[in-house]
Amino acid sequence: MTISHSWRLLRLLAVSAVLVLTAQIFVCRIALRKRPREASHPLPEDVHRILAPETYEYIINQPDMCKERSPFLVFMVPVSPAEAEAREAVRKTWGAPNPNTLTLFYTGLPKGPGVGLFQQKMEEESKVHADIIQMNFQDSYQNLTIKTMMMMNWLATYCPSASYAMKVDADIFVNIFYLVNLLKSAPEQGFITGSVITDGAPRRDRNSKWFLSEELYPEDSFPWYVSGAGYVFSSDLAAKISWGSRFVQMIPLEDVYVGLCLRVVGIKPVYSRSLLTFRNLFEIRNLKYDRCTFARRVIVNQFKPSELVRIWQDFSSGHDNC
Ligand SMILES: *[C@@H]1O[C@H](CO)[C@@H](O)[C@H](O)[C@H]1NC(C)=O
């Protein structure tokens, strides 16, 4: 080998070394940027406290609901204490007693004028129906994240034998016939479905209802999450989401928050689409009632209690003919 040959070889080696190094730094940077901030270590105790289940106490509980049965599907419905009419509508419609399903309402403490009266009425209602669970945090829109984590913790503690659970608002139409069928062929673990939001991002406009400050959430996008109106999951996820929440600072957007907990435990929500048309089965637009249109959805958004009851009468008797 001549001197000029070895010189060239040396140069080649040097250039490749620099290239490899640059590539590595680049990859590292990407990894650092993508790494969820919260996944590295648990939150300090005083920060986690506001969401920790040990912080609050049950005022009303139904601890024996799953002692003698393992429901196929538990409906977990967040409500405010004053929403007695909405609870009644759910009990008369998709939430009615059924061998496959169990329906429970979750609430915090009433606030404002008439607190004592609301509390007394709700306790009477609870004696009649035995389907209300109440914890001693202030019930409010901003505290929905606390309520959601309370529901997860309740399921993991008192009903781990359930197959599936659905977090669903009281103003939603739920097609239990379609849903139960869909779940019969769903994964038994690590499964969550609903209307998946893949391009969510924090609103930095202070006037927005969904405003989120950079202190609370510094990243500029959200991980995939399921819209909070109604989502369904295998019951093992209740404990996993509760565990994940030790790593995630509370934000007042409960559905995004659940998405952040799912990211910690490495679970991605899946979209539910109809086979041929690819239509979203979890409808988050408002749709005018039509029996056969509703027969092809799992949920439809936003109904007043009286509308829900009226629609259900027609739907439950006629959906088979669609
Ligand atoms: C949320 O609940 C906590 C605990 O009861 C309370 O201290 C706080 O004021 C509530 N926040 C809102 C915005 O209601």
Residues forming a β-bridge with 192: 233
Residue 58 included in any domain: yes
Ligand 1 atom with least separation from CA of 137: 5
Planar angle of CA 128, 132, 137, nearest 5 degrees: 140
CA-nearest residue, atom 13 of ligand 1: 142
143 within ligand 1 shell (Cβ under 6 A): yes
Residue 187: CATH number of its domain: 3.90.550
Burial 113-150 (b: 16+ CB within 10 A, else e): eeeeebbeebeebbeebebbbbbebebeeebbbbbbbb
Asked whether residue 6 falls in the same domain as residue 50, the answer is no
Q: Are residues 88 and 19 in the same domain?
A: no
Q: What is the pLDDT of residue 14?
A: 61
Our count of domains for the chain comes to 2
Residue 108 alpha carbon, nearest atom of ligand 1? 5
Asked if residues 192 and 269 have their Cβ atoms less than 8 Å apart, the reply is: yes
Strand 192-194 and strand 230-234: the pairing is antiparallel
What does the pLDDT look like over 123-170, one tens digit per residue?
999 999 999 999 999 999 999 999 999 999 999 999 999 999 999 999
Q: Are both 114 and 262 inside the same structural domain?
A: yes
CA 256 to ligand 1 centroid distance, Å = 19
Residue 233: what pLDDT?
98
Confidence of residue 28 (pLDDT cuts 50, 70, 90): very low
Average pLDDT over residues 196-219: 94
- Please indicate, yes or no, whether residues 10 and 120 belong to a single structural domain of this protein: no
Query: Distance (Å, rounded) from C-alpha 43 to C-alpha 137?
Result: 21
Q: List, in order, residues 6 or more apart from 125 with CB less than 8 Å away.
A: 84, 87, 132
Same domain, residue pair 67 and 216:
yes
Q: Is 300 within a domain? A: yes
Residue 10 shares a structural domain with residue 145: no
Q: Is 293 in the pocket of ligand 1 (CB under 6 A)?
A: no
Q: Which domain holds residue 9?
A: 1-33
Residues 7, 107, single domain; the answer is: no
Neighbours of 97 (CB within 10 A): 10
Residue nearest to atom 8 of ligand 1 (CA): 138
User: To 10 degrees, the CA torsion angle through 217, 218, 221, 223?
Assistant: -60
Within a domain: residue 57?
Answer: yes
Q: What is the 106 CA–ligand 1 centroid distance (Å)? A: 16
**DSSP assignment of 267-314:** ---EE-B-TTT--BSEE-S-----HHHHTT-SEE----HHHHHHHHHH
Nearest CA to ligand 1 atom 14: 140
Give residue-wise pLDDT tens across range 73-90: 999 999 999 999 999 999
Please check whether residues 4 and 92 belong to one and the same domain: no
223 and 82 in a common domain = yes
Model confidence over 43-64: pLDDT tens digits?
999 999 999 989 999 999 999 9
What is the spatial order of strands in the sheet that 282-283 belongs to?
173-174, 299-300, 282-283
